[in-house]
A = this chain, B = another copy of it.
């Protein structure tokens, strides 16, 4: 509290506003000028807080996903059986992603990143613990399945719908109720639990 707000507080403010910008337009789509405007500073001032644009970006993504990992981990801890843990994780995750679209888009930009160095930094600072958490869950959930593939499958079923939401709005036969996280959550759990054998009970 030396001047007005601490250096750390300013850093976090920059990170939080950067997240929204990077989520919208990706690394290349956001200029230091854009960030500067969003935090009411000049571009030069940003270089006092962060070494360069890449450092700012990686820190912002890690900052955004630290909370996600924590929430999912406690969702698992709060449930008793593996199936209940699945329901809990899927329910909590869909709710988070529906509420915070930035998370979805940040992940999308990361997946598309073609800078190998940056991608490695992102993987190890933002996503490794999250991946391991799901990996451990599916190991108990479906011991007969390849755990890595299963992890990706579950992740995909939860995340992908949010990724295509905006695009599907322009396709024929789109129903807006599918945007409801609770509807998606039930669909995913049921599909995973029953597969096609449960296709003709009426709980749609």
Contact = CB atoms under 8 A, between A and B. Distances in A.
B149 A153 contact: no
Nearest to A184: B149
A159 to B, nearest CB: 7
Contacts of A188: 153
13 contacts: A25-B114, A105-B112, A108-B108, A111-B166, A113-B167, A122-B167, A131-B172, A132-B173, A145-B199, A146-B187, A157-B157, A192-B195, A193-B196
Interface in A140-187: 141-150, 152-153, 155-157, 159-161, 163-164, 166-168, 170-175, 178, 183-184, 187
> Which range contains the number of A residues in contact with the other chain?
35 or more
Closest 8 CB pairs of A and B: A195-B195, A156-B160, A123-B170, A142-B199, A156-B156, A144-B199, A144-B200, A149-B187
Interface of A: 24-26, 28-29, 83, 105, 108-114, 119-120, 122-124, 127-128, 131-132, 135, 141-150, 152-153, 155-157, 159-161, 163-164, 166-168, 170-175, 178, 183-184, 187-188, 190-204
A32 to B, nearest CB: 16
Nearest to A177: B146
A152 B158 CA distance: 10
A148 B52 CA distance: 43
Given A148-B178, A149-B187, A152-B168, A196 B142 contact: yes
Nearest to A86: B196
Contacts of A112: 26, 105, 108-109, 112
A197 B184 CA distance: 21
Nearest to A166: B119
Given A119-B167, A144-B201, 9 more contacts: A24-B114, A83-B196, A144-B199, A146-B183, A152-B161, A153-B188, A159-B160, A160-B160, A194-B197
